[in-house]
Amino acid sequence: MIREIRVLVIDDSAVMRRAITQILESTQEMKVIGQGRSGKDAIEKVKELKPDIVTMDIEMPVMDGLTALRHIMKNTPVPVVMVSSLTTDGAHATLEALSAGAVDFIPKNFAAIMQQNKEFIQEFIDKIKLLARKNLITQKSDPALRSPQSAVLRSAKLNPSASRGRKYELILIASSTGGPKILHQIIPQITADLTTPVLIVQHMPPHFTKSLAERLNNLSPLSVAEARDGDVLARGHIKIAQGGQQMLLERHGDRFFVHITDAGSETIYKPSVDLTARSIANNFRGRVLAIMLTGMGKDGLNGFRQLKKKNAHIIAQSAESAVIYGMPKAIVEAGIADEVLHTDQITARINELCCKTGMNAHRTPQH
């Protein structure tokens, strides 16, 4: 019998604490074992109650969530999901929290919570459940299996030869839950001699993608920016889809442009991996390297299928290194992944296939 997931809820608003508790306890799999209204409460109750996972507001009196998070990660590590306001300041603070050790975030959407928005509430429940279960499974597994090094050794290359001799003209990277953290590991390690443009679709609200792009731009030798309508694809430039909008690829003659639109009512995701991938499959003439990272659900599966039909090389993140093995799992189970790689291997593969340094290192000497 699977035991209940024990949750600690920290928020300075009594209304929010009550609403989050009701949402989580609407499923028999979770029990809220404690509440608090400040970061100081969070530190004390994590130590006392030893929860499986914590939901924590960022802006609180006495001690803010970021300060509390850093203390918890240093002294009593436990998965912490930040509850973030949908503002520019909230986006900056959230990304800071992810850098400090938070596993993910949930938008502090008062309207969706109070109106009992079914899609928002279900995603809230699923996210907490999956993140907590992931941690519980990891805790029970052999420590040797949890190390990044062993994960790299065990990750499977399904069809590495499929990419030999190929020249790629575009990279598409897709991610959802846990994605910002993984992107911070991958993007800064791509070398400055990247020969292709990169499009990133990360499920995030408005404001958050701009903050994500700015942080990655500061860490990367490449140019990283939130995509704008009319942007031209350029080598070595990374464009991140806008939160709350769809990013499509359009062709005019021999040039390719980003089109930002509010269309796409057939999907709940804004941005949607499926819509971006489909537009690439329909319009892009060159070869595509498509990479599916961590995330819940199956957004991107249909779009990646279409890319596969156009001879794209597809990489899925491994279960060991994904925060949530949902989106990459869908790609693997559909049989369209050419390779299943650990996070570190993905970075190395991009450099090998799409950067001059990597290409030159693997070029056969001429005699």
Just list the catalytic residues. Answer: 176, 203, 299
Q: Which residue has the tokens 């590590």?
A: 77
- Distance from C-alpha of 18 to C-alpha of 21, rounded to nearest angstrom: 5
Q: Beta strand 223-226 with 339-341: parallel, antiparallel or unpaired?
A: unpaired
- Selection from 317, 201, 299, 297 nearest residue 249 by Cα: 201
CB 135 within 8 A of CB 80: no
Backbone angles phi, psi at 114, to 5 degrees: -70, -30
CB 328 within 8 A of CB 322: yes
- Selection from 50, 51, 73 nearest residue 5 by Cα: 51
- End-to-end alpha carbon distance in the chain: 66
Tell me how many degrees the CA angle 177-198-91 measures, rounded to the nearest 5.
Answer: 40
Helices (H), 204-254: 208-219
Helix H, strand E, coil C: the string for 83-131 is EECCCHHHHHHHHHHHHHCCCEEEECCHHHHHCCCHHHHHHHHHHHHHH
